[in-house]
A = this chain, B = another copy of it.
């Protein structure tokens, strides 16, 4: 029987899950692939931990370069993460003519253009389904299932940590800090949660999705990113009362000449299926000119779901190899010579609906001052709600706007912030899918 040999870089959670599938589901894989998928080498700096797997002799090594330099290995599965050693190893593996499977969204978002070019020149593939959305086949769906569609937009809940925290605040009225602590205790947030809660992890994934959706070069640096650390139970409660949920969304839309790509907390109506996606689950909606709207939903991270996506990519490459071909589907959806630089629309230029919460002194004439400044900037108010609840002697004033320009909103908020009657920085949340 034919055999495809793979090496794993990094036996952390997902790397171990991949090895488990290769061993435990070997017979299944053979009956679907028509060949044997063999783990030839697996590298990790920690070889002492019992991972619950009986690795065959000679497979484990603490020298990752032994994996990428092994002449028998066809496919290298990189599960180390980060932009340093993982990058060197992938470059070396490509140089050695090996195909790559990776979950490394940070690396692809920052250095993908260079890496995909290097792979194309060498005639190997970089596959990256596990880098976005865990088990959800978002990459394959865009690249293959929607191949006949002009993709118009994608909206996704792509970070389980943020969704867990926001769900916790929603269901329990918890403070952000408490929800984060709980998420950490339950293993849904890292000890250093910055990458997740500040939205960077979501932005890495969005940079990849924007590229394959439109045939654009990967462009991380121009994506507007705002995390969830300023979201309060008060904002969520008000949103719920108005029929909205607050989610950290990755949003990308193709406009006439640019990509509107941004990551920020977003109010979406209950009728949007993303609003029902709770806890650590992820989901992505995709709009295409033929397909209309569709959604994928599932575990966006975790040992076995992400390992499942890595195995899918590995077998995709194995099927090519068994047929003596490579890169049957273009890595970035479009043929390399069709990939263009498409500018990202600056956040200042977008127009959307807004939720604004002001904290103001309880005095006559406050509302008149606020609405006067907003009016000067052509911002039309859809509704205003003022509650009796006081915090620090101030009252919260909630506003929903009609369609407004971000630049004007920011100018108005800056002016309003400097008023004596305003006791705290205003809170701003963008709304999608309203009218």
A31 to B293, CA, bound (A): 23
Q: Considering the complex, which residues of chain A in the window 277-331 have a beta carbon less than 8 Å from any beta carbon of chain B? A: 288-299, 302, 304-305, 307-309, 311-312, 315-316, 319-320, 323, 325, 328-330
A292 to B134, CA, bound (A): 11
Do the beta carbons of B307 and A290 come within 8 Å of each other?
yes
Q: A309 — which chain B residues lie within 8 A by C-beta? A: 145
A137 to B17, CA, bound (A): 25
| A129 interface residue (CB < 8 Å to B) | yes
| A176 interface residue (CB < 8 Å to B) | no
Do the beta carbons of A147 and B315 come within 8 Å of each other?
yes
Given A32-B330, A290-B17, A296-B295, residue A308 in contact with residue B273 (CB < 8 A): no
Stretch of A21-29, A177-185, A352-360, A417-425 with 4 or more beta carbons under 8 angstroms from chain B = A21-29
Nearest CB on B from A320, distance (A): 8
Do the beta carbons of B28 and A308 come within 8 Å of each other?
no
A25 to B292, CA, bound (A): 15
26 contacts between A and B (CB under 8 A): A25-B148, A28-B149, A28-B150, A29-B148, A31-B215, A32-B147, A32-B333, A33-B147, A129-B145, A135-B291, A137-B140, A140-B140, A140-B141, A144-B316, A146-B312, A148-B312, A290-B307, A290-B311, A291-B304, A292-B305, A293-B298, A294-B297, A297-B297, A320-B328, A323-B323, A323-B328
Q: A330 — which chain B residues lie within 8 A by C-beta? A: 32, 34
List the B residue with the shortest CB-CB distance to A285: B297
Given A294-B297, A297-B294, residue A308 in contact with residue B140 (CB < 8 A): no
Nearest CB on B from A79, distance (A): 15
Do the beta carbons of B308 and A146 come within 8 Å of each other?
yes
Tell me which of A32, A302, A315 has the highest count of chain B C-beta atoms within 10 A of its own C-beta: A32
Given pairs A25-B150, A31-B334, A136-B294, 18 additional interface contacts (CB within 8 A): A32-B215, A135-B290, A137-B140, A140-B144, A144-B315, A145-B312, A147-B315, A276-B276, A288-B308, A289-B304, A290-B311, A291-B299, A291-B308, A292-B302, A293-B299, A294-B296, A295-B297, A323-B325
| A385 interface residue (CB < 8 Å to B) | no
A293 to B299, CA, bound (A): 7
A291 to B288, CA, bound (A): 26
Given A147-B311, A329-B319, residue A294 in contact with residue B298 (CB < 8 A): yes
A302 to B28, CA, bound (A): 35
| A338 interface residue (CB < 8 Å to B) | yes
Q: Considering the complex, which residues of chain A in the window 115-164 have a beta carbon less than 8 Å from any beta carbon of chain B? A: 129, 135-137, 140-141, 144-150
